[in-house]
Amino acid sequence: MKNKQKFIAAAVQASPVFLNKSKTISKVIKLIGEASKNGAEIVVFPEAFIPTYPFWPKDIGTALGRKLILDAYTELFKNSVDVPGQDISKIGNAAKKSGVYVVIGVNEREGGTLYNTILYFGKDGTLIGKHRKLMSVDSEKCIWANGTVKDVTVVETELGKVGGLFCYEHHLTLAKYAMYLKGEQIHVGLWGGHGFAKNTMDFASKQYAFEGQTFVIISSMTINEKLIPDSFSLKKQTTWDYPGGSGIINPRGEYIAGPVYDKEEIVYAEIDTDQIIRAKAVIDCTGHFSRPDIFNLEIKE
């Protein structure tokens, strides 16, 4: 596949319509159209955007707390998506209509289990790849099951080889190197937008770009208490500090757009893939710089 040298990428920083799958998908479709009209050829959305990241406490040690947690989980589950399914088709149709690649984070249902999943859509609207989060962090384990080796995903596109990880998966060292080994050129980093992880998101994303000689498109959620309905059972038990931090970074580890905080915005930048060649002339992390005579990573496929 002959790849484009230059194209426009869009990192969406936005809030979901909290725990409302239908309205959030409508918002996604609108944002895809907006980004396309502004010249984007790949549009990236945040972690668990449909229907939301589970921002609330997942473990409250009382009988009342247990009920409130299960109430919140029930609403999350009911508003999550099946893959494939009608909800996924709507996003695919929007990608096809706009002629863009779309990457989005969703809560995915399979049976009675939820996964934190990245979906990759081609310009023709087909689902071309999927990544389930390999390792949840802290209390996320109360919500999502783990992915498997088949979720070490890099997809072929006209723009280059595209792969992605969530949040603290950027500290899953061997997973990062596995992505590099698969030839990743455009990396999508999907984040929940936590305020406490603001600095982590910044340094982890810059390091990923520099270490792997990739472009990194950071898409982060932003949300505040005003956007949460009073009917949500854990509204008052949650600290709503989610400023975002979306941006786009070149293979030298430098921002070429963003980061942006505390507002909804689509961040745009031109990707020039010749910069990958220039970066690898200095450090090729899976080539001359990797010392394959000493080190080897086995991906247990």
**Residues 216, 192: Cα–Cα separation, whole Å:** 16
Hey, which residues are catalytic here? 47, 133, 167
